[in-house]
A = this chain, B = another copy of it.
Amino acid sequence: MLVSQPRTFPLPSIQRLPVYLRFLKEQRDRGEMVVSCTKIAEEFGQLSVQVRKDLSITGIIGRPKVGYKIGELIEAIEDFLGWNTKTSACLVGSGSLGKAILGYDGFVEHGLDIHCAFDIDPKVIGTTIHGRPVYDIAEIAKIGEQQNFVIGILTVPAAAAQRAANALLEVGVKAIWNYTPSRLELPQGIICEDVKLSASFAVLSSRMKNGPLQEENY
């Protein structure tokens, strides 16, 4: 009897997958061949049922008494997230935050391939940051024609966010990873994910001010 997969997956589960993934790679590199939900849960102070539910969204199946083959599990997670295929991206705004993202090589592991950066500052245009050329934002249309950017990373000052987003839409990006605190107006169908550093700090602050809320979720 066929059981259809749910069309939609729990957001918290998706958010926890990268944490597991990192741990799994650590274990693999130590020579481990299998891993159980119990072990993962122990590592993160969680319940094993939750880990099992989280992993199940990737379609992986394990063996009772043993667990999952680490290699398979890593592949299942990466496949679910689309992290085992390269996605071409560009970054707009090569200020300090932009530089930080270009400098962080962890995203390469997630298939993110940032070809280049764009900026308006003549002082940085023409230079390279961590091996990536910085172009004039005015040239984004021309360069976007040759290189097909799928994701645009937004690291401009808040005031320039919408303008930069529009430029990204022009070159046909499917998704915007928005590091600015601005709300973007985007057409239907464009995926936008906001990085809310202030939300993270709010949780920290609130815990200091109002005491612990609930247990931390990884």
Q: Which residues of B contact A210 (CB under 8 A)?
A: 9, 80
Q: Which residues of B contact A87 (CB under 8 A)?
A: 205, 208
CA distance A80 to B150 in the complex (A): 40
CA distance A16 to B183 in the complex (A): 13
Task: Answer whether residue A146 sits at the interface, using C-beta atoms and an 8 A cutoff.
Answer: no
Q: Which residues in window 49-99 of A have CB below 8 A to B? A: 80-83, 87, 95-97, 99
CA distance A216 to B176 in the complex (A): 14
Task: Answer whether residue A192 sits at the interface, using C-beta atoms and an 8 A cutoff.
Answer: yes
Chain A: number of interface residues, binned into ranges: 35 or more
Known contacts A82-B209, A174-B208, A175-B207; is-contact A18 B202 (Cβ 8 Å): yes
Chosen A-B contacts, 22 in total, with CB atoms closer than 8 Å, are A9-B213, A11-B214, A14-B199, A15-B196, A15-B199, A15-B203, A17-B202, A18-B196, A18-B201, A22-B181, A96-B99, A96-B102, A96-B103, A97-B104, A106-B181, A107-B201, A110-B198, A112-B201, A177-B200, A192-B216, A193-B200, A194-B218
